[in-house]
Chain A
Amino acid sequence: AAAAAGGAGQEKQLAPTLLSFFIYNPKLGPKEGEEEKKILFYHPNEVEKNEKIRNVGLCEAIVQFTRTFSPTKPAKSLHTQKNRQFFHEPEENFWMVMVVRNPIIEKHKDGKPVYEYQEEELLDKVYSSVLQQCYSMYKLFNGTFLKAMEDGGVKVLKERLEKFFHRYLQTLHLQSCDLLDVFCGISFFPLDKMTYLKIQSFINRMEESLNIVKYTAFLYNDQLIWSGLEQDDMRILYKYLTTSLFPRHMEPELAGRDSPIRAEMPGNLQHYGRFLTGPLNLNDPEAKCRFPKIFVNTDDTYEELHLIVYKAMSAAVCFMIDASIPPTLEFCRKLDSIVGPQLTVLASDICEQYNINKRISGAEKEPQFKFIYFNHMNLAEKSTIHMRKTPSVSLASVHPDLMKILGDINSDFSRVDEDEEIIVKAMSDYWVVGKKSDQRELYVILNQKNANLIEVNEEVKKLCATQFNNIFFLD
């Protein structure tokens, strides 16, 4: 998908790729000759030591230099012809740097390949956000850098970084990053009040019966319904669940009755519940009850939790329990016997209700509008532009150029506080409209032949009236 064919097969476009990624702390090797100590993680590791030191030193210098102009906001990115560097200081003196190669157009001149770097293609905001998410994801599973230092000094921190980023960097997919990475939003499952209250009631009862559960989150169809976690923690956990954990577990109940996946399911005819993290087979006395650990509320209470993800049909529940209490096999069996049957019933209730609501609102038709909506207040995100997320990438169904326009409009919005509206006429009859009202942003792509500005404005109004009539959205 990365190599979109350009004009007449002569040109070839090479997507942006990750050149290097490193983390350093200048305070760890302040003296000359000790520069290597600053480096906590470097990808690719094969790079020669002196080059590593040189690159780190360069970043350090750039940051220091720009700090003289803007003490509170030093440089965030560096544009060069071939690549772009992004800087991020998530914790004091800890710097993360990501170097991305600009996309290239490969042309053939006189039989020889000629490379043309596209310097202005990458959006700073998109890739800065990707870098920030790298940190958030690390922190979710490992806690802060500082905590690792306290736990066991540089050695432990280096081990943790190596272990985490070695795998994580392979999943970055820089070629398909877009506006949604800037938002890093949460898609909420639309639900009627009564079903929502039933879910509430279910969660409260589960937390009561499984009294070691500290927080619960509830998702349906990979969309969030309830989070007991705070917003920022949920944001990154949601990303992990929807882009990593869920796609890895193909749903056996969707597979045919006689399929081998189904046969492997622990023989339970009472319900469809199963663990996505933790023991695979509860009947196996040797089954290991190991759950991923996550770190939340790192700013104040700094809690370490076990993450239990349990799923029945399309409904998934995350139970988070204090890390000091290791969950036993007995606990897992209890959870399975209590949660399994109830969640199965609830999941089919939700499905039924959802279909009824869909029929009433007549939303079965394909949305005619291609739009992205995001609300900064609750991180709610909705996109009719993107296909369903796959394990590897989330694909936009429109031309990358249009996605880039969206990104540009977003950058414009973030520069001012006031509500505004931007309408752009793109190539080949496309109109792109960006609207910002209070904390909400809406981007619409319209493809109407010979439409004029007034007609486009009318179309957007129509969209707002149908899709967003229950919120305060200024015209």
Chain B
Amino acid sequence: KTKNANILGFCWTSSTEIVFITDQGIEFYQVLPEKRTLKLLKNQSINVNWYMYCPESSVILLSTTVLGNVLQPFYFKSGTMSKLSKFEIELPVAPKSSKLSLSERDIAMATIYGHLYVLYLRHHSRTSNSTGAEVVLYHLPREGSCKKTHILKLNRTGKFALNVVDNLVVVHHQDTETSVIFDIKLKGEFDGTATIQQFVLPPRSIQPYQIPVAGPASVTSQSPVPCKLYSSSWIVFQPDIIISASEGYLWSLQVKLEPVVTLLLDKGKLMDFLLQRKECKMVILSVCSQMLSTTERGSLSVIATVFDKLNNEYKKYLEAEQSYTMVVEAGLSRSNPLLKRPVRTQAVIDQSDMYTHVLSVFTEKKEAPHKFTIAVLMEYIRSLNQFQIAVQHYLYELVIKTLVQHNLFYMLHQFLQYHVLSDSKPLACLLLSLESIYPPAHQLSLDMLKRLSTANDEIVEVLLSKHQVLAALRFIRGIGGHDSISARKFLDAAKQAEDDMLFYTIFRFFEQRNQRLRGNPSFTPGEHCEEHVTFFKQVFGEQALMKPTTF
């Protein structure tokens, strides 16, 4: 459109929209395929040195001014072009001449943790006292001004290239043929304007790839050729593409997490790092298993830190999930279209994951002293409690099993006394089963059933099985359920107790109940108590039966 302008390039911002960038401005067109024409939607005059397009975020960055260090971003969305606030990149040295000082090669755009950043590779300059090159990150928000947020220290000089993989900034260094990784979520040093970060891991080379030699089937036995890494012919594209021009391959860079485990010795930092990665679950679980193993056992405080970090992430997810269900249940989901079901990332490691992959395996191996085993289980339960996550009963069962195996009943008793092992029916039943080896378990179990207040039937059953028929009857009467209980069940138990007086008392109780409820002391056929009536007559005589009262 503009006269005498050189087209620097074009990019498709959607299937029906195209943007042309010329040295004098930017032109935004709509494509009308049926008419085979373009319709100008918007244009803007501006001097452009070079441009850069990030399809992920539909942002075009233009380098303007003589030095080229003032960057003007444009954002495209469904037929509109909006100009974002421009910003200036600080150059390492004040340029003497007015020639282009900011090269396209030193700038990259990428989305990290959901935010768009402009990455600037600032080379080492002799005049400044910095120890090496660094990558400066500018946060580019949709609204508001662009701000310098992070400085990634490279501590070396030479030729660099950048990639962004899995929210990590990977900087390749050609001279040493190694790459370093930065994670901006990890703690850094704040200097007042930006966070200064060191690389997470020691520099390592990208894993060499063996290229199978293509050729006729007869010669495939030839050994594969390793790919030349860090070659000077590499060209990188954001976010994770590397093209080795000389060999004609296009690579996609990936992060392997397993080696990180051995490189990052600080387990707390390792967890911070792993929890932010996409494919982290199995690696995290293996780290947990490893720190419990005999050979590489971590100290309890380290284990506690790791559990806390995992449960922090777990709790965040649970909370998001909960508030989502609350909104849905309240029927507010329609009025709020932005509401999305929380995504469960791999970093959410729940109790069943820990149980299946780490804790049950660890306790079954029995290679650790039982003291350590119990300490680890209690530490996990403590951590869950600290984050107010309800503990699943299978974890308690694991604790009980371990304690019972080592005859540590008194410990178990104390845990239950302080309700560390929360009440539940399965747990109460487990305790009942322990009664034969540890008699106090009976009392603990009954207490638990009582507290549950939904287990009254179970309490009656337990008492009856102990022939404590009167106690059972008094209990059920205390809670007001004595009108609906089965007379037969109680009479059976009373008979089994082989105590005539007890049988008499129970029998009389039910006669009185019959009288009260039906106006007649005799049992109905539906109660199936004929056998007991016969027994009663046998022992106490027919005349002992209660007479129906006549009014």
Contacts and interface: CB of A to CB of B under 8 A. Distances in A.
Are A and B associated in one complex? Answer: yes
Contacts of A228: 411
Nearest to B472: A474
B475 interface: yes
A377 B382 contact: no
Given A201-B379, A201-B382, A470-B451, A227 B414 contact: yes
Interface string B317-354: 00000000000000000000000000000000000000
Given A197-B382, A227-B410, A230-B410, A205 B300 contact: yes
Interface string B404-441: 00000011011001111000000000000000000010
B447 interface: yes
B281 to A, nearest CB: 26
A472 B418 contact: no
B471 interface: yes
Nearest to A473: B450
Nearest to B448: A472
Interface stretch (A186-194, A326-334, A398-406): A186-194
B372 to A, nearest CB: 8
Contacts of A81: none
A208 interface: yes
B443 A439 contact: yes
A472 B451 CA distance: 8
A389 interface: no
A204 B442 CA distance: 28
Contacts of A474: 471, 474-475, 478
Contacts of A193: 385, 418-420
A471 B446 CA distance: 8
Contacts, number: 84
B387 to A, nearest CB: 11
B544 interface: no
A337 interface: no
Interface in A194-234: 194, 196-198, 200-201, 204-205, 207-208, 226-228, 230-231
Contacts of B11: none
B304 A201 contact: yes
Contact of B413 (A194, A377, A440, A471): A377
A196 B420 contact: yes
B280 interface: no
A419 B440 contact: no
A198 B379 CA distance: 9
B299 A191 contact: no
Given A193-B385, A472-B459, A208 B419 contact: no
B446 A194 contact: no
A317 B442 CA distance: 31
A378 interface: yes
Given A193-B420, A472-B447, A472-B449, A377 B381 contact: no
Interface in A439-475: 439-440, 470-472, 474-475
A119 interface: no
Contacts of A378: 413-414, 417, 440
A35 interface: no
Interface in B346-368: none
B371 interface: yes
A204 B414 contact: no
Interface of A: 188, 191, 193-194, 196-198, 200-201, 204-205, 207-208, 226-228, 230-231, 375, 377-378, 380, 419, 438-440, 470-472, 474-475
Going nearest first, the 8 A-B pairs with the smallest beta carbon separation are A204-B375, A197-B382, A472-B446, A377-B440, A472-B450, A196-B418, A471-B447, A205-B300
12 contacts: A196-B420, A197-B382, A200-B378, A205-B300, A205-B304, A208-B299, A208-B372, A378-B440, A438-B446, A470-B451, A472-B449, A474-B474
Given A204-B371, A204-B378, A474-B478, 7 more contacts: A196-B418, A197-B381, A197-B385, A201-B378, A226-B414, A377-B444, A438-B443
